[in-house]
Amino acid sequence: MSKPEVRARARASAVQADLHYQPSYPPIERGASLLLAWRLDGRRVLLIGGGAVAASRLGFLLQSGAHVTIVSPGPLEPSIAYRVATEPDHITWHDRSYGSSEGGNVSADDELPVGDYDMVLTAVDDVALSRAVCLAAREARTPVNVADVPPECDFYFGAQVRRGPLQAMVSTSGAGPKIAVIVRDLVADAIPDNVEDAIDGVGKLRTELRERAPGVGGELSKRRMRWMIGTCDAWTLGEMGAMKDEGVRKRLLDDGWEKNKVLGPEAVGVGSGLSARATKALHGAAGLWAAGAGGLVTGAAIATLATLYFVRR
């Protein structure tokens, strides 16, 4: 056996030995969607349809800052008509049908080709037209969503809840939209009323910390991340709202960050409460207890009630 072959076998044996001592990792479960927060501010979106389903899409698109081109003959669904009248800088409406469904071909609509947009959505009853739009969009590499036809969707909307900057989405990858809505409502009920204050306070603290310790990567960046995580673990959501106060943030940075310490709320004069770590532990315990209480929805409901009890005290 040649020396290169000996070295190759030695390396293979070393790799196998390393794998033998690695901890067991969970199996990969295929079939999930990649959940992302997609930034559409200033992007162009084509929305084909002017009914109730299109209306449900339009609100999300406008909240994201997109410019929406709507193609649909009037009369429009009332909420869409209202948005067209009150959001002229963000909506362009073409009072006509899109393309042609003859032979499933949309090429006739040369005025508004799908490739000119960053995203395309159809919400019409014309199955042939929707399929043709989907094929044209995929050929143009434009992400497309065909309402109520999961195989012809590159992305799903899911069931969403928003509290200021906080957004949460529950998705079943199009398999059970009603289940997603039920779980979404449970999640929404479990979110503390003052979560916006917590996000505002932590966001300001994080910004001021980055001003004191700028940069990406390296030991300083790692230390900054560890300190922020430790600080958030030491505060409950209800207490984090106090970080909106400039004096509280200054004490956390001067007496905490600068001295390499994590300070809890009591250390800076904020009222004490159940620790964030304890709340998380109780939440996890409630979820495990609820799992045997009779299925997904029942278990989630019990876990939510337990979480609400502990978080809102």
Q: Quote the CA–CA distance of 262 and 257 in Å, as a whole number.
A: 7
Strand partners, 167: 162
313: Cβ contacts below 8 Å, ≥ 6 apart: 273, 274
Query: What single letter denotes the amino acid at residue 37?
Result: A
Helical ranges in the chain per DSSP H: 3-20, 52-63, 78-86, 127-139, 177-190, 195-212, 218-234, 237-240, 246-251, 276-291, 295-311
Strand partners, 122: 48, 146
SS3 content of the chain, % helix, strand, coil (to 5): 55, 10, 35
251 and 268 in contact (C-beta within 8 Å)?
yes
Q: Quote the CA–CA distance of 223 and 209 in Å, as a whole number.
A: 11
Count CB neighbours of 55 within 10 A: 20
Q: How far is CA 281 from CA 84, 184, 232, 275, 313, in A?
A: 48, 22, 15, 10, 15
Q: Helix, strand, or coil here: 123?
A: coil
Q: What is the CA radius of gyration of the chain?
A: 26
Catalytic residues: 148
Q: Give ∠ CA 46-48-50 in degrees, rounded to 5.
A: 125
Q: Which of 175, 125, 170, 115 is nearest to 146 (CA)?
A: 125
